[in-house]
Amino acid sequence: MKPRLDNSCALVIVDVQNDFCPGGALAVRDGDAVVEPLNRCAALFARAGALVVATCDWHPPDHCSFRAQGGPWPVHCVRGTPGAAFHPALRLPADAVVISKAEGPKVESYSFFGEPGLEQPLVERGIRRLFIGGLATDYCVKWTALDAARRGFETFVLADAIRGVDAQPGDSARAVEQMKSAGVKLVTVEEVAEGVAR
C-alpha cells in the first residue's frame, strides 16, 4: 500500500515528549526511535501541502492520572517543565499545529479526540485521512487511531514510528490487533514516501 498525500491528509504526531523518551519520568523503551521516521514523514507532508499536527500532554501538577491523586502513572509532562517539551530532535514544520491535551486536573485524555474541540483544525481543513505515529502504541496512539476510525477518517498508523509502554507484556501487540480490527491500516514511512514519489 502506497497512499498518496494531498491536502485532505494530516499527520498526527502523538506525544513525542521528553518524559516519554529514555531518561524521562514515564519513559517508553526506545521511545526516541520514533523521532527520525516522524521527522522524515513530517517533511513529506509539508512538501505535499498536508497538515501536520503534534499533540502533547500538558498536565497540571495535581493531574488525576498521577499516583498521588490515585492514578496509575508517575508525575509526567507537567506543563512548562522540560519533561513536557517535545524531544529536542523532533523537527516540526513551521506551520504545524500543536494541540495540548489533558490540561485540567480532572481531565484524562489518551485520545487526540478525547476533549471537545481539539479536532477543530482537522474540520477546518477538510481532512479525511489521518496518518498517526508517536507514543505510546498501547495508549495514546491506539485511542487516537480508534477514535479517528470511529469518526469516519481513513486511518493509517505508521508501524515504524510507534513504540509502546507494555505495562503488561504484549499490550502493544494487542493494541495493534485492536486497531487493525477497527479498520485502521498499518503502513511504513517508506511506503508513504513511495506514494509521494509516484
**Three-state DSSP class for 122?**
helix
Has 101 been annotated as catalytic?
A: yes
Single out the catalytic residue among 19, 21, 140, 142: 140
Single out the catalytic residue among 19, 41, 101, 160: 101
CA-CA distance, 152 to 160, in Å (whole number)? 24
Beta pairing, strands 129-135 & 9-14: parallel
Has 147 been annotated as catalytic?
A: no
Cβ-in-10-Å burial (0-12, 13-18, 19+) of 67 comes to exposed
Tell which residue, 118, 108, 116, has the closest CA to residue 140.
108
CA angle 47, 186, 114 (to 5 degrees): 85
Beta pairing, strands 51-57 & 154-163: unpaired
Q: Assess contact for 145 and 178: CB atoms under 8 A.
A: no
Has 41 been annotated as catalytic?
A: no
CA-CA distance, 143 to 90, in Å (whole number)? 22
- Return phi, psi of residue 149, to 5°: -65, -40
CA-CA distance, 9 to 55, in Å (whole number)? 16
Single out the catalytic residue among 15, 57, 138, 160: 15
Please list the active-site residues: 15, 101, 140
